[in-house]
Amino acid sequence: MTLARLVTEGRVRAGVDLSGLTTYRLGGPAAFLMDAATSDDLMAVAAVLAEETREVLVLGRGSNLVISEAGFEGLAIRLGPEFGGIELDAVPRVTVGGIVPLPQVARTATAAGRRGLEFLIGVPGSAGGGVRQNAGCFGTEMVDVLESAVVFDLLTGKSATVDAFALDMTYRHTSVTATDVVLSATFRAGEGDPVPGLELIREHTRWRRLYQPGGTLNAGSVFKNPPGDSAGRIIDSLGLKGLRIGGAEVSGKHANFFVAMPGAEPSHVYLLVKKVVAIVESETGIQLEPEIQFVGHFENPEKR
């Protein structure tokens, strides 16, 4: 199997703009994009990778992602509707497809009396992306509620159900690699009255509206929190709110959010991240680690 054949068959498109598939609405094209409608499509990608060396990018909802102006030279993969859906089991467990938005999981599960997943209202990504990153919010992470995930390995063409403990889940880290696709996730949930759970979701939502830059183009938290501290607090303490390079700006509401203003380009976000890292290290000795992923070539740091 070759990628050229998949293009000819119409299963893969060439030169597809990726900007609309990220929360920043920035970035250049992918050399190739597959909308994987079924597991057979993923098997076809595995067959290609067995014959050709290709970099792959698995796209979820495009949060925590910055794609360069030059785009992505490999094969981007986006799962289709077959990998959606929410199942409420009697245990009670909640099983969701990899493409399901985590805020939707929070609302659906809580309304059905499945408690403990309310924190997901604050995680903007998909279930698959959330598992890969061990995403979290409001003091709870995926590792606290995840029972297992079905993971497809693009290098072997095989899928497996992997228990959470086998995913090496630490703060914003798992063993899920760039060539793994999370097809579904099963969460443990408690049973309880949905009313207080829905109120907690409303409280979380109100907090985010007050303290995070809603209504702007951003990619969520830019940096991981250092042990025992908050990246936002550190950046704010150095007076960096409002710091701007081109169209990228440190949010005045929350210093760990960088917003894209009119005229922003991916390189502006990249340069702003580099600058904040340098200032924080110079002033405090702390090395902030980006939580967002930069994809593509950002070769000219002096640009613009």
pLDDT in tens, 229-245: 999 999 999 999 999 99
Q: Is residue 256 part of a domain?
A: yes
48, 65, 81 - which closes a domain: 81
Whether 111 and 73 share a structural domain: no
Q: What is the pLDDT of residue 89?
A: 86
Q: What is the pLDDT of residue 304?
A: 40
Whether 190 and 89 share a structural domain: yes
The angle formed by the CA atoms of residues 109, 111 and 114, to the nearest 5 degrees, is 45
170, 197, 224 - which closes a domain: 197
Whether 120 and 131 share a structural domain: yes
Q: Is 205 helix (H, G, I), strand (E, B) or coil?
A: helix
Whether 20 and 52 share a structural domain: yes
Q: Is residue 204 part of a domain?
A: no
- Look at residue 88 and tell me whether its pLDDT is greater than 80: yes
Whether 98 and 180 share a structural domain: yes
Ramachandran region, residue 85 (left: φ > 0; alpha: ψ -120 to 50; beta: rest): left
Whether 185 and 282 share a structural domain: no
**What is the pLDDT of the chain when averaged over all its residues?**
95
Whether 68 and 102 share a structural domain: no
Whether 88 and 132 share a structural domain: yes
Q: What gap in Å lies between CA 281 and CA 99, rounded to an integer?
A: 37
Q: What is the pLDDT of residue 91?
A: 84
- Look at residue 302 and tell me whether its pLDDT is greater than 80: no
Whether 66 and 102 share a structural domain: no
Q: Is residue 300 part of a domain?
A: no
- Look at residue 34 and tell me whether its pLDDT is greater than 60: yes
- Tell me the mean pLDDT in the region 252-270: 96
Q: Is residue 29 part of a domain?
A: yes
CB atoms within 10 A of CB 171: 11
- Look at residue 301 and tell me whether its pLDDT is greater than 50: no
Q: Number of structural domains, the chain? A: 3
CB atoms within 10 A of CB 70: 15
β pairing state of 136-137 and 146-153: unpaired
- Look at residue 40 and tell me whether its pLDDT is greater than 80: yes
Task: Give yes or no for a contact between 272 and 245, defined as CB atoms under 8 angstroms apart.
Answer: yes
Q: Is residue 168 part of a domain?
A: yes
Q: Is residue 302 part of a domain?
A: no
Q: What is the pTM of this model?
A: 0.94
Q: What is the pLDDT of residue 150?
A: 98
Instruction: Check 118, 172, 184, 251 and give the catalytic one.
Output: 172
Q: What is the pLDDT of residue 259?
A: 97
Q: Is 201 helix (H, G, I), strand (E, B) or coil?
A: helix
* Percent of the chain scoring above 90 in pLDDT: 94
Whether 272 and 230 share a structural domain: yes
Instruction: Check 63, 148, 221, 267 and give the catalytic one.
Output: 221
Active site residue 184: no
Domain enclosing residue 135, as ranges? 84-197
Domain CATH code at residue 244: 3.90.78.10
Q: What is the pLDDT of residue 299?
A: 67
- Look at residue 2 and tell me whether its pLDDT is greater than 70: yes
CB atoms within 10 A of CB 225: 18
- Tell me the mean pLDDT in the region 246-275: 97
Q: Which helix (H) or strand (E) holds 161?
A: strand 158-163
Q: What is the pLDDT of residue 303?
A: 43
Q: Is residue 149 part of a domain?
A: yes
Which residue has 């939707």 as its token pair?
104
What are 166-183's pLDDT values in tens digits? Answer: 999 999 999 999 999 999
Cis peptide preceding 92, ω within 30 of 0: yes
Q: Is residue 54 part of a domain?
A: yes
Whether 105 and 189 share a structural domain: yes
Domain CATH code at residue 172: 3.30.465.10
What are 183-204's pLDDT values in tens digits? Answer: 999 999 999 999 999 999 999 9
81, 110, 144 - which closes a domain: 81
Domain CATH code at residue 49: 3.30.43.10
Which residue has 């050229």 as its token pair?
4
Whether 170 and 68 share a structural domain: no
Active site residue 221: yes
